[in-house]
Structure 1
Amino acid sequence: MSQSLQHQVFQALNRSRAQLERSVQLADGLALAQWRNAHDATQYNTPGHHTFGCYLEGGYGTFRRDLPQLKGAPQRLCILPAEHQSAWVVNGELRFIHLYVSPQPFALGAVQLLDREPRELQLQERTFIEDPQQAGRFRQLALLDWQEPGERLLCSSLSQAILDQALLTQVGRRNGLQLKGGLAPQTRRRLQEYIEAHLEQPLGLAELAEQAALSSYHFARMFTQSFGLPPHRYVLMRRLQRATEQLTSSPHELGDIALACGFASASHFSTRFRQHFGATPSQYRAARCI
Structure 2
Amino acid sequence: MTALATAPDLSRHEVFDVLAHSRAQLLRSASLGDGLAVAVWRNAADATRYSRPSHHTLSLYLSGGHGTWRREAPDLRGEPGRLCVMPAGHESRWVVGGEQSFVHLYFDEAQLAPLAVRLLDREPREVQVPDLTFVGDGRVAGPLHALSMLDWQDPQARLQANALGHEALAALLVVHATRGHRTPPRGGLSAPVRRRLVDWTEARLDQPLTIGEMAAEAALSEHHFARMFRTSFGIAPHAWVLWLRLERAKQLLRHTDAPLDEVARQCGLASASHLVNRFRARTGVTPGQFRRLRQAQPERGVFRSP
Fold agreement, TM-score > 0.5: yes
Q: Secondary structure at the match of 2:201?
A: helix
The answer to whether 1:3 aligns with 2:19 is no
- Which of 81, 88, 101 is the matching residue for 1:82? 88
CA contact (8 A) 2:63 2:80 kept: yes
Question: What does residue 292 of structure 2 align with?
Answer: 286
Q: Secondary structure at the match of 1:264?
A: coil
CA contact (8 A) 1:38 1:90 kept: yes
Question: What does residue 255 of structure 1 align with?
Answer: 261
CA contact (8 A) 1:2 1:22 kept: no
How far did residue 48 of structure 1 move?
2.1
The answer to whether 1:112 aligns with 2:118 is yes
Give me the TM-score of the superposition, normalised by structure 1: 0.96
Residue deviations 1:238-268 (CA, integer Å, cap 9, x gap) = 1111111111111211211111011100010
Distance 2:6 2:209 in 1: 38
How far did residue 131 of structure 1 move?
1.5
Distance 2:295 2:255 in 1: 10
The answer to whether 1:51 aligns with 2:57 is yes
Question: What does residue 150 of structure 1 align with?
Answer: 156
For structure 1, which segment, 252-261 or 272-281, has the greater mean C-alpha deviation from structure 2 after superposition?
252-261
Q: Secondary structure at the match of 1:78?
A: strand
Report the residue type matching 2:94 in the other structure. Answer: W
Question: What does residue 188 of structure 1 align with?
Answer: 194
Question: What does residue 16 of structure 1 align with?
Answer: 22
CA contact (8 A) 1:57 1:96 kept: yes
Unpaired runs of at least 5, structure 2: 297-306
The answer to whether 1:92 aligns with 2:98 is yes
Residue deviations 1:118-147 (CA, integer Å, cap 9, x gap) = 101111221111112332222212221112
Distance 1:56 1:287 in 2: 27
Describe the shift of the 1:131–1:102 C-alpha distance in structure 2 as closer, same or farther (beyond 3 A).
Answer: same
How far did residue 177 of structure 1 move?
4.8
- Which of 243, 247, 259 is the matching residue for 2:249? 243
CA contact (8 A) 1:3 1:22 kept: no
Report the residue type matching 2:273 in the other structure. Answer: S
Report the residue type matching 2:294 in the other structure. Answer: R
Question: What does residue 132 of structure 1 align with?
Answer: 138
Report the residue type matching 1:120 in the other structure. Answer: E
Give me the TM-score of the superposition, normalised by structure 2: 0.92
Residue deviations 1:129-186 (CA, integer Å, cap 9, x gap) = 1112332222212221112111110010000000011111011112445512111111
- Which of 34, 41, 46 is the matching residue for 2:47? 41
How far did residue 97 of structure 1 move?
0.4
CA contact (8 A) 1:44 1:85 kept: yes
CA contact (8 A) 2:139 2:171 kept: no
Distance 2:287 2:41 in 1: 31
Question: What does residue 239 of structure 2 align with?
Answer: 233
Residue deviations 1:202-250 (CA, integer Å, cap 9, x gap) = 1111111111111111111110000000000000011111111111111
Identical pairs, percent: 49
Question: What does residue 62 of structure 1 align with?
Answer: 68
The answer to whether 1:224 aligns with 2:199 is no
Residue deviations 1:54-95 (CA, integer Å, cap 9, x gap) = 011111111100111111111111112213211111011111
Q: Secondary structure at the match of 1:208?
A: helix
CA contact (8 A) 1:63 1:88 kept: yes
Describe the shift of the 1:177–1:50 C-alpha distance in structure 2 as closer, same or farther (beyond 3 A).
Answer: farther
- The number of residue pairs the alignment matches comes to 290
What is the RMSD of the two structures over their aligned residues, measured on CA atoms? 1.4
Unpaired runs of at least 5, structure 1: none
Question: What does residue 301 of structure 2 align with?
Answer: none
Question: What does residue 162 of structure 1 align with?
Answer: 168
Structure 1 segments (4+ residues) deviating >6 Å: none
